[in-house]
Amino acid sequence: DSGVTQTPKHLITATGQRVTLRCSPRSGDLSVYWYQQSLDQGLQFLIQYYNGEERAKGNILERFSAQQFPDLHSELNLSSLELGDSALYFCASSMGQGYGYTFGSGTRLTVV
Amino acid sequence: DQQVKQNSPSLSVQEGRISILNCDYTNSMFDYFLWYKKYPAEGPTFLISISSIKDKNEDGRFTVFLNKSAKHLSLHIVPSQPGDSAVYFCAASANDYKLSFGAGTTVTVRA
């Protein structure tokens, strides 16, 4: 157990639907990062939050949004889902640069 | 725009031999580099890191080398063990805390 909890582990949904992925960071970590890993591709950075505020944005689609709540857990919302959104979505947390990230085990999203 | 590149998608090595994984980067602002290891159905786990003020960092069987002039880093695993079979990701960051990852190299250690 890495200390970063992601739910659900698996999600199957239809095109056009909306889903919410949840992440609880490791205790004491203020930063949360979301990454997407599509088939045969590396980890693509989506977005970072630090203590409730958006800190950095990557190649996140407009159909996707995220937030970090006062208790530091984070949610990634994916809407108007397309087949190409099928991927592994990882959440990671950290104390800051120099400490590395701790990753959750991911949510596997399948859009059918 | 892929700022971190791992050009070898796979590597096969015999148990007990050295595994060398390579990584190149393009962003000269990167000042912190990391390697992560990932098993199937698990999230990546931190393996070893190096700051740009160093050119080598060692942790047990794992050593990371950084060549800033060439914008190149490598991970050496000596000796390779069957449990090292996994996907290895190279990652880098500037001062913005965000990590950019390479596409990964799948290492297979043969008995």
- Torsion angles phi and psi, residue A44, rounded to 5: -100, 125
Instruction: Please enumerate in sequence order all residues whose Cβ is within 8 A of that of B85, keeping only pairs 6 or more positions apart, or say none.
Output: B107, B108, B109
Residue B66 CB-density burial (10 A; 0-12 exposed, 13-18 middle, 19+ buried): buried
CB proximity B41 to A under 8 Å: yes
Angstrom distance (rounded) from CA B25 to CA B71: 5
Where would I find the H helices in A1-112?
Answer: none
Mean pLDDT, rounded, for B45-73: 96
What is the model's pLDDT at position A40?
Answer: 67
Structure tokens at A19: 């889903």
CB proximity A2 to B under 8 Å: yes
Structure tokens at B98: 């965000």
What residues of B are in contact with residue A103 (Cβ under 8 Å)? 36, 43-45
Angstrom distance (rounded) from CA B37 to CA B23: 14
The pLDDT of residue A39 is above 80: no
The pLDDT of residue A61 is above 70: yes
User: Do the Cβ atoms of B75 and B88 come closer than 8 Å?
Assistant: yes
Q: Quick check: helix, strand or coil at residue B83?
A: helix
Residue B4 CB-density burial (10 A; 0-12 exposed, 13-18 middle, 19+ buried): buried
User: Do the Cβ atoms of B11 and B107 come closer than 8 Å?
Assistant: yes
The pLDDT of residue B76 is above 60: yes
Taking CB atoms and an 8 Å limit, are A97 and B93 in contact across chains?
Answer: yes
The pLDDT of residue A1 is above 90: no
What is the model's pLDDT at position A98?
Answer: 57
Q: Please name every residue paired with A111 in a beta bridge, in sequence order, or none if there are none.
A: A13
pLDDT band at A11 (very low <50, low <70, confident <90, very high): very high
CA distance A45 to chain B (A): 7
